[in-house]
Amino acid sequence: MIQKITAAVIGGGNIGAGVANYSKSVRPGSHADAYRLHEDVDLVGIVEINEDRREYLQKEYEHVDIFESIEELFKHHQPEIVSIATPSQYHAEHLFQIVPYKPKVILCEKPLAYSIEDGEKMVQLCKEKGIQLFVNHQRHFDPLLQEWAGKVKNGLLGELYQGHAYYYNGFFNNGTHLIDIMRVFCGEVKSVSARYNEKTSSNPDDKNIDADLLFENGLRLSMHSLSKNYGHFGFTIFGEKGMISMSNLGFEVQYREKINSEHFPGFFELNKEIERDGEPRSMISSSIDHVISYIKDGIAPYGTGEDALAVLKILEESKLSADDKE
- Under 8 Å between Cβ of 81 and 8: yes
17 in a structural domain: yes
71 in a structural domain: yes
69 in a structural domain: yes
Q: What is the mean pLDDT of each run of 10 residues along the chain (326 residues)?
A: 92 95 92 98 99 97 98 99 98 99 99 98 99 99 99 98 98 98 98 98 97 99 96 98 98 98 96 98 98 98 99 98 92
Number of structural domains (the chain) is 2
317 in a structural domain: no
CA distances from 108 to 67, 270, 288, 304 (A): 19, 40, 12, 10
- Shared domain for 155 and 123, answered yes or no, is no
Reported as half-sphere exposure (CB side, CA atoms, 13 A), residue 142 has a value of 28
Q: What CATH number should be reported for the domain holding residue 16? A: 3.40.50.720
Q: If we measure between CA atoms, which residue out of 177, 171, 126, 156 comes closest to residue 301?
A: 126
322 in a structural domain: no
- Shared domain for 159 and 93, answered yes or no, is no
- Shared domain for 116 and 66, answered yes or no, is yes
DSSP states of 134-186: EE--HHHH-HHHHHHHHHHHTTSS-SEEEEEEEEES-IIIIIHHHHHHHHHHH
CA distance 62 to 50: 17
Q: If we measure between CA atoms, which residue out of 301, 291, 309 comes closest to residue 112?
A: 309
Q: 213 lies in which domain range?
A: 143-279
pLDDT score recorded for residue 325: 86
93 in a structural domain: yes
pTM of this prediction? 0.96
Q: Helix and strand tally (H, E) in the chain?
A: 11, 15
Q: If we measure between CA atoms, which residue out of 245, 252, 62 comes closest to residue 164?
A: 245
- Shared domain for 255 and 289, answered yes or no, is no
| Beta strands across the sheet bearing 65-67 | 65-67, 41-47, 5-10, 81-84, 105-108, 132-135
- Under 8 Å between Cβ of 65 and 57: no
pLDDT score recorded for residue 1: 60
